[in-house]
C-alpha cells in the first residue's frame, strides 16, 4: 500500500521516491496535529468552570455580616421599646418620636433611588449596593464586558452567585441607559464570535460556514435558518445582532 502511494505521488507530481516519502511523512504529521488540536478543543470545552473558593467565602461573609446587622437592629429596637414604653411618655413627646422615625427612613429611601447607568458603572459604583463587594462588582463588570453590555436587567441572574435580593437592590439604583455592542455576523472572526457568552465555539464555526455557503446575512432573522439555533437562543442573541 505504501509503495503504491509513493509511486502514485511520483507519477502525479513528478517527485522522486525520496521526495514522495517525505511528502507522506509531512501529510501524516499534519493529520496528527489536526487530530491533537480537535482533541484539545474538545477537552477544554468539557472542563467545568471552577470559580475560586475565596469568592464563595467572601459572599458568605457578606451575608453573615448583613444578618448580624439586622439582628443587632432588632435587639436595639426591642430594648428601646422595653425601657421607654409609650405609656410613660406624654402624648406630644410620643408623637414627636413617631414622626422622627417616619422621616429618617424616607430620606434614606430617596438617596437609594438615585439612578445610574448599569452599563458604565464602575466597581466603586456597584459596591454602594448592600451585598456587593469587590468580588461581585468585578464579576458583574467582567460578564458585562463579555456580553458587550447588558440588554436587560434579567441578565444579572446569569452572574454566578448574585442573589435575587441583591439584584432587586441593583435595579432600583441602576438602569440600562447605554446601548450594547453589536455583533457583525458578516465581518466578525471565529475568535470574536466565540467570545460572546451566548455563542459557543461550535456555533461560531457553523455561523461562519453558513456565511461561506450562502453569502452574507441580509438581516438578523437569517440566523434562524441555522437549525441548531432555537427560538430562545435567537431571542437572547437578538439585541446583540446588527
Q: Is residue 181 included in any domain, yes or no?
A: no
Question: What is the Cα–Cα distance from 166 to 39, expressed in whole angstroms?
Answer: 41
CATH number of the domain where residue 154 is located: 1.10.150
Q: Residue 221: inside a domain, yes or no?
A: yes
Q: Is 19 within a domain?
A: no
129-182 tens-digit pLDDT: 999 999 999 999 999 999 999 999 999 999 999 999 999 999 999 999 999 999
Residue 64 lies in a domain: no
* pLDDT tens-digit readout, 57-116: 666 677 777 777 777 767 776 666 655 544 444 555 555 655 555 544 444 433 445 579
* Pair 135, 123: CB distance under 8 Å: no
Is 225 a domain residue?
A: yes
Q: Which pLDDT score, from 0 to 100, does residue 88 have? A: 42
Torsion of CA 220, 225, 230, 232, to 10 degrees: 20
pTM for the predicted model, two decimal places: 0.52
Mean pLDDT of 120-132: 96
CA distance 206 to 97: 68
Transcribe the chain into DSSP letters: -HHHHHHHHHHHH---HHHHHHHHHHHHHHHHHHHHHHHHHHHHHHS-----HHHHHHHHHHHHHHHHHHHHHHHHHHHHHHHS-GGGS-HHHHHHHHHHHHHHHHHHHHHHT--EETTT--HHHHTTSTT--HHHHHHHHHHHHHHTS-SSGGGGGGSTT--HHHHHHHHHHEE--SPPPPB-TTT--HHHHHTSTTS-HHHHHHHHHHHHHH-S-SSGGGGGGSTT--HHHHHHHGGGB-
Cα 158 to Cα 167: distance, rounded to the nearest angstrom:
11
Domain span including residue 212: 190-240
Q: Are residues 167 and 196 in the same domain?
A: no
Residue 150 located in a structural domain: yes
Task: Tell me the mean pLDDT in the region 8-29.
Answer: 75
- In this prediction, residues 234-240 reach a mean pLDDT of 95
The number of domains in the chain is 2
Residue with cell 477544554: 44
For residues 131 and 168, membership in a common domain is answered with yes
In a domain, 130, yes or no: yes
> Higher model confidence: residue 76 or residue 16?
16
Q: pLDDT at residue 224 above 70?
A: yes
Does a structural domain hold residue 203?
yes
* One domain, residues 123 and 168: yes
pLDDT reading at 229 higher than 90: yes
Condensed to tens digits (0 to 9), the pLDDT of residues 182-203 reads: 999 999 999 999 999 999 999 9
Amino acid at each position: 500500500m505504501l509503495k503504491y502511494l509513493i509511486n502514485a505521488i511520483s507519477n502525479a507530481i513528478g517527485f522522486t521516491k525520496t521526495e514522495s516519502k517525505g511528502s507522506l511523512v509531512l501529510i501524516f504529521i499534519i493529520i496528527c496535529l489536526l487530530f491533537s488540536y480537535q482533541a484539545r478543543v474538545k477537552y477544554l470545552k468539557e472542563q467545568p468552570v471552577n470559580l475560586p473558593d475565596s469568592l464563595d467565602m467572601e459572599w458568605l461573609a457578606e451575608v453573615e455580616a448583613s444578618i448580624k446587622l439586622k439582628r443587632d437592629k432588632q435587639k436595639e429596637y426591642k430594648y428601646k421599646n422595653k425601657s421607654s414604653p409609650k405609656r410613660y411618655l406624654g402624648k406630644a413627646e410620643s408623637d414627636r418620636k413617631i414622626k422622627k422615625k417616619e422621616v429618617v427612613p424616607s430620606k434614606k429611601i430617596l438617596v437609594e433611588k438615585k439612578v445610574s447607568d448599569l452599563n458604565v458603572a464602575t466597581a466603586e459604583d456597584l459596591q454602594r449596593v448592600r451585598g456587593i463587594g469587590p468580588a461581585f462588582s468585578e464579576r458583574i463588570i467582567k460578564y458585562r464586558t463579555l456580553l458587550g453590555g447588558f440588554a436587560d436587567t434579567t441578565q444579572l441572574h446569569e452572574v454566578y452567585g448574585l442573589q435575587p435580593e441583591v439584584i432587586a437592590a441593583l435595579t432600583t439604583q441602576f438602569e440600562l441607559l447605554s446601548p450594547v455592542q453589536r455583533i457583525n455576523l458578516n465581518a466578525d472572526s471565529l475568535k470574536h464570535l466565540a467570545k460572546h457568552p451566548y455563542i459557543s465555539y461550535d456555533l461560531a464555526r457553523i455561523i461562519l460556514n453558513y456565511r461561506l455557503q450562502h453569502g452574507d446575512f441580509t438581516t438578523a432573522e437569517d440566523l434562524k435558518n441555522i437549525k441548531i439555533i432555537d427560538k430562545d437562543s435567537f431571542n437572547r442573541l437578538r439585541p446583540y445582532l446588527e
